[in-house]
Structure formats: structure tokens, C-alpha cells
Structure 1
Amino acid sequence: MKNCIFTFVALLVFGITNAQDTKIGNDNGQTDQGKWLIEVNTGFGTPAGSNTGFDYSSTDGDSVYNIGAEAGYFVIDDLALKVGLGYGGINSDLYDTHIFSYKIGAKYYIASMIPVQVDYSGATIKDVDADPSYLGIQAGYAIFLGSNVSIEPGIRYNLSLNDNYTEKDTFQLNVGFALHF
């Protein structure tokens, strides 16, 4: 599986270095150099220990919640450097804790409409000895709704960088909502 991830990263780097200068689907310049990106994601299958999106679930009186967002700056056309923060917790009869999550990475829009992201994410969990960290790879499709808003459904794979953390590699589905300005 790790060979597959390294092959994907190599293809991503190749695609970025050989991308065409022409813009196909983005005439408004939402991903042009100097623009900003504010993004909020919903994640299905998000690791509980590393979440910079919105999430809430409750089962039999136990609840897991998170609130977060990501921001990016386009350093060149179609390539944004991003950071993200999240805060959440787990509340149950046996367990009550708070989680602070963080993310740093790069997001590239192939042909200005196919976002591909590579990032490092992690968390600090109150009263837990081993904090999780992940290498994340995701891809999707940007649906631009005018000049300032996009919806970005996609898929993501989180490769666990901790051998001693209970939640290992995870696969998830995302729906991202982004503001471009």
C-alpha cells in the first residue's frame, strides 16, 4: 500500500511540473496567483484524532464533535499552500476529552478544476499518551458556483504515521465548500 502512495505522489509531482498554462474550466481566476482560499469540509470516515472540518455524531448517548476550517494562499496559479485548525471532543459515560487538530499542506488544481492535495495532519488529545499524525492524500472535482464559491466533493486517504495509535490508516469521502477571493 505504501508503494501505491509513493507512486501516486510521484505522479502528482509529474503532473504539477508538466501542467499546461491554459485554463480550461476557470475563466474567473479563482485559483490565480495571489488569491486566497477559505475551506470547510465534511468528512465521512475522518479519523477522530485529526479533523479540521465539521463533524458530529451521536450513538447511545456518546457523542463526537468537531469544528474547524482551512485557509490557503495561491503562491502560483493553481497551487495553494494551506493550513487548517480544528477543535473537538468525545463525550461519553466512560470518556470525556478535548482534541486540537492541525494540518499543513499544498493543494494543486489540475486544469484549474481538479484539486489534488498532499498534507501532514495531527492532533493533540487531552489525557492521551500517543497523539496521532497522518500523511494525507486527496483528490476531487471543483464545481465553481460563480466567481467566489466552489463545492469540492472528493476522496482522501490518511496514512497513519504512528505505530502505537489505535486508529490506523483511514479512507474517507469529503464534501468541501470553499470561498475564493
Structure 2
Amino acid sequence: MKKILLGATLFAVFSFTSNAQTEKGGWLIGASTNLSFTSTSFDGSDDSVNEFDVTLSAGSFIADNLVIGLNMNYNSVSDSFDKQTTSLVGPFFRYYAEGTFFLGASYLLGTTKLGSGGTDFTFNGNYLGLEAGYPIWVAENIAIEPSLNYAIGGGDFDGSSAIGINIGFGLYFQ
């Protein structure tokens, strides 16, 4: 019986602490990434592919558990032959279910520049993104935010889509 009461008390305290950070009037500043590095060998020669991806976010809680803000994303992929960079910016919203699990959406506009064999190409387009994640509160206003993400492209990015797992870091201010 004592274990049940202790568990219920800890759950209630955790839920209150988490929810307190997602109240109306608060702010969210965050960053997320899906850093990756791949090294591949072709016929005995080594070639490496490097990818760097970061998204910076800032938003305001316009209602309890609902934040609206701006995302900025930068992605770079390069190997020994090509380099591709993508810069995107646009609005996002995120809804927190009782300050714990979150669902979100974003709309990003931007440009991809591809350098291949001395020739540069530029593509303009947009992405509609969806996310679902869980803030792991490591301090009263700091969370690690793993999320599952899906994006579908439009404009010059039409026909492209991506699914992935990101790791984010969020600072919550009241």
C-alpha cells in the first residue's frame, strides 16, 4: 500500500512540475538535431558522407499547453563529389497533453543549393512537418525531447518525404 501511495504521489508531483512549464505566457527556446556520419567503402576506396542537421525554435505559449513559434532549419550533406545545403524557416505549433506528451506541426519554406561537379543548382520549396514526442524533464525548466518526425515536400521539393527520430533540447521559461 505504501508503494502505491508513494508512486501516486511521485506521479502527481512530476505531472504538476511538467505542466507548470507549459502554461499560458511561458516561452520555449529549443534546438533539435539528427546528426549522422556514414563512412562507406567502394571497390577498396574510402568515401565518407557527412550530414549535419539542426533546427532552432522559439515560441510562446498562447494558451496552457499550446505553443506557437518560429522554426529555423539548416541541413548540410556532403561527400567527396557533391555538397547540398538546405535552409528553411517557418511557423510551428505544438500541443502538450498535460505537459508531457506533445504533438506538433510546422510549415517551412526554403532553398536547397546543390553543388555537383562544379555546377550549382538551386531549388525552392516547402515542407509540411508533423511531430510526436515526449519531454524528459531533467530540471524544472529544461527538457530533453526525443521525437518522431515526418515531413512531406512541395514546390521544387514535391515528391520528397522524410521520416526520422530527432533529439531535442528545450528551455522553458515562465
TM-score (norm 1): 0.69
| Aligned counterparts of 2:37 and 2:125: Cα–Cα separation in 1 | 20
Distance 1:118 1:88 in 2: 19
TM-score (norm 2): 0.71
* Number of residue pairs the alignment of both structures matches: 147
Answer with 119-128 or 149-158: which moved more: 119-128
For 1:179 and 1:173, locate their aligned partners in 2 and report how far apart those are by CA, in whole Å. 20
Conserved? CA contact 2:33–2:53, under 8 Å: no
State whether structure 2 residue 94 is matched by structure 1 residue 103: no
Partner of 1:122 in structure 2? Answer: 109
2:15 aligned to which of 25, 28, 33? 25
CA shift at 1:107, angstroms? 0.7
Q: Which has the larger radius of gyration?
A: 2
Tell me if structure 2 keeps the 8 A contact 1:24–1:112.
Answer: no
Deviation of 1:88 (Å): 4.0
Give me the whole-angstrom Cα distance separating, in 2, the residues matched to 1:134 and 1:156: 12
Q: Which residue of 2 aligns with 1:50?
A: none
Distance 2:83 2:62 in 1: 41
Alpha-carbon separation, structure 1, partners of 2:123 and 2:60? 32
CA 1:68–1:142: 2 relative to 1, 3 Å = closer
Question: Residues 155 and 90 of structure 1: is their aligned pair in 2 closer, same or farther, counting only changes over 3 Å?
Answer: closer
Structure 1: runs of 5 or more not aligned:
1-22, 44-54
- Quote how far apart the aligned CAs of 1:167 are: 6.5
Deviation at 1:147, TM superposition (A): 1.2
RMSD: 2.5
Contact 2:32 2:54 (C-alpha < 8 Å) held by counterparts: no
Would the aligned equivalents of 2:28 and 2:172 in 1 still touch at CA under 8 Å?
yes
Please show how residues 1-150 of structure 1 align to structure 2 within 5 Å: 25-27=15-17, 29-43=20-34, 55-59=35-39, 60-126=47-113, 127-150=120-143
CA drift of 1:122 comes to 3.5
Is 1:171 the counterpart of 2:171? The answer is no
CA distance in 2, matches of 1:71, 1:152: 14
